[in-house]
A and B are shown apart, each in its own frame.
Chain A
Amino acid sequence: MPDVQVLVNDFINKLRKRKIEGSQATSRQTAELLRSVISQTRVPYTNQAGALIDAVRAVGEQLIAANPVELAVGNIVRRVLHIIREEDLSLATAAVAGLGLSSVSDDEDDSERDNHPVLSAAVVAAAARSTLRPPSLQTLLEDVPDSGAVPHTSSSGGDSEGKSKSADKSSRSRKLKHDVIEALNELIQDITTCHELIAEQAVEHIHQNEVILTLGSSRTVLEFLCAAKEKKRSFRVFVAEGAPRYQGHLLAKDLVTRGLQTTLITDSAVFAMISRVNMVIVGAHAVMANGGVIAPVGLNMVALAAQRHAVPFVVLAGSHKLCPLYPHNPEVLLNELRSPSELLDFGEFSDCMDFGTGTASPLLHVVNPTFDYVPPKLVSLFITDTGGHNPSYVYRLIADYYSADDLVVQRRPPTAS
Chain B
Amino acid sequence: MWWRSASFILDHRLQEDPPNDIASSSKEPDTLSKLSPPQTHSSFMAAADPFNPIPNPKISAYYQTRAAHTAVVTSDWLAQAQAAVGHHPDDSPAPQTQLLASPSASGKSFCVINEFNNWRKQPDLAEAVAAIRALAAVIRASEATTMMELEIELKKASDSLKSWDTTSISLTAGCDLFMRYVTRTSALEYEDFNSARSRLIERAEKFGEISCKARRIIAMLSQDFIFDGCTILVHGFSRVVLEVLKTAAQNKKLFRVFCTEGRPDRTGLRFSNELAKLDVPVKLLIDSAVAYTMDEVDMVFVGADGVVESGGIINMMGTYQIALVAHSMNKPVYVAAESYKFARLYPLDQKDMAPALRPIDFGVPIPSKVEVERSARDYTPPQYLTLLFTDLGVLTPSVVSDELIQLYL
Query: Is the CB–CB distance between A137 and B403 below 8 Å?
Result: yes
| Cβ-neighbour of B399 out of A114, A123, A395 (below 8 A) | A395
A105 within 8 A of B: no
Smallest CB gap from A290: residue in B: B396
Stretch of B282-290, B353-361, B387-395 that contacts chain A: B387-395
Cα-based distance from A289 to B221 in the complex (angstroms): 14
Query: Is the CB–CB distance between B387 and A290 below 8 Å?
Result: yes
Cα-based distance from A119 to B191 in the complex (angstroms): 9
The total of chain B residues at the interface (CB under 8 A) is 31
B310 within 8 A of A: no
A346 within 8 A of B: no
B62 within 8 A of A: no
**Beta-carbon contacts under 8 Å, B269-301 to A:** none
A108 within 8 A of B: no
Query: Is the CB–CB distance between A136 and B392 below 8 Å?
Result: yes
Query: Is the CB–CB distance between A135 and B188 below 8 Å?
Result: no
- Shortest A337–chain B CB gap in Å is 20
Cα-based distance from A136 to B396 in the complex (angstroms): 14
1/0 contact string of A118-152 vs chain B (CB within 8 Å):
01000100000000001111101111000000000
Q: Which residues of B contact A328 (CB under 8 A)?
A: 224-225, 227
**Beta-carbon contacts under 8 Å, B184-222 to A:** 184, 188-189, 191, 203, 206-207, 210
Query: Is the CB–CB distance between B402 and A396 below 8 Å?
Result: yes
| Cβ-neighbour of A291 out of B396, B403, B404 (below 8 A) | B396
1/0 contact string of B337-351 vs chain A (CB within 8 Å):
001101000000000
Query: Is the CB–CB distance between B396 and A392 below 8 Å?
Result: yes
- Shortest A389–chain B CB gap in Å is 12
Smallest CB gap from B220: residue in A: A408
Q: Which residues of A contact B181 (CB under 8 A)?
A: 141-142
- Shortest A402–chain B CB gap in Å is 11
Q: Which residues of B contact A116 (CB under 8 A)?
A: 191
| Cβ-neighbour of A395 out of B177, B342, B395 (below 8 A) | B395
User: Size class of A's contact patch?
Assistant: 20 to 34
Query: Is the CB–CB distance between B177 and A140 below 8 Å?
Result: yes
Q: Which residues of B contact A392 (CB under 8 A)?
A: 396, 398-399
B364 within 8 A of A: no
1/0 contact string of A378-417 vs chain B (CB within 8 Å):
0000000000000011011000000010000000000000
Query: Is the CB–CB distance between B407 and A137 below 8 Å?
Result: yes
Cα-based distance from A289 to B340 in the complex (angstroms): 23
| Cβ-neighbour of A137 out of B206, B207, B342, B396 (below 8 A) | B342
1/0 contact string of B357-394 vs chain A (CB within 8 Å):
00000000000000000000000000000010001111
A329 within 8 A of B: yes
Smallest CB gap from A135: residue in B: B392
Query: Is the CB–CB distance between A140 and B210 below 8 Å?
Result: yes
A326 within 8 A of B: yes
Smallest CB gap from B330: residue in A: A375
Query: Is the CB–CB distance between B203 and A404 below 8 Å?
Result: no
Q: Which residues of B contact A138 (CB under 8 A)?
A: 184, 406-407
| Cβ-neighbour of B177 out of A134, A141, A289, A329 (below 8 A) | A141
On whether A135 and B393 interact (CB within 8 A), knowing A116-B191, A141-B210, the answer reads: yes
Which of A114, A119, A141, A328 has the most chain B CB atoms closer than 10 A to its own CB? A141
Cα-based distance from A138 to B342 in the complex (angstroms): 12
- Shortest A152–chain B CB gap in Å is 17
Cα-based distance from A160 to B404 in the complex (angstroms): 35
Query: Is the CB–CB distance between B207 and A141 below 8 Å?
Result: yes
Cα-based distance from A82 to B406 in the complex (angstroms): 22
B258 within 8 A of A: no
Q: Which residues of B contact A289 (CB under 8 A)?
A: 394
On whether A136 and B403 interact (CB within 8 A), knowing A141-B203, A328-B227, the answer reads: yes
Cα-based distance from A396 to B393 in the complex (angstroms): 12
Cα-based distance from A291 to B398 in the complex (angstroms): 12
Cα-based distance from A328 to B253 in the complex (angstroms): 15
| Cβ-neighbour of B191 out of A114, A140, A143, A291 (below 8 A) | A114
B237 within 8 A of A: no
- Shortest A125–chain B CB gap in Å is 13
Smallest CB gap from B199: residue in A: A143
Could you pull out 18 A-B pairs where Cβ atoms are within 8 angstroms? A110-B188, A114-B188, A123-B189, A134-B392, A136-B407, A137-B406, A140-B210, A140-B391, A141-B178, A141-B181, A141-B203, A142-B181, A143-B206, A290-B396, A392-B396, A395-B395, A395-B396, A396-B402
Q: Known contacts A134-B393, A141-B178, A143-B206; can you find 7 more A-B pairs with CB under 8 A?
A: A119-B189, A135-B393, A136-B392, A137-B404, A141-B177, A393-B398, A396-B402
Question: Which B positions have Cβ atoms within 8 angstroms of A?
Answer: 177-178, 181, 184, 188-189, 191, 203, 206-207, 210, 224-225, 227, 339-340, 342, 387, 391-396, 398-399, 402-404, 406-407
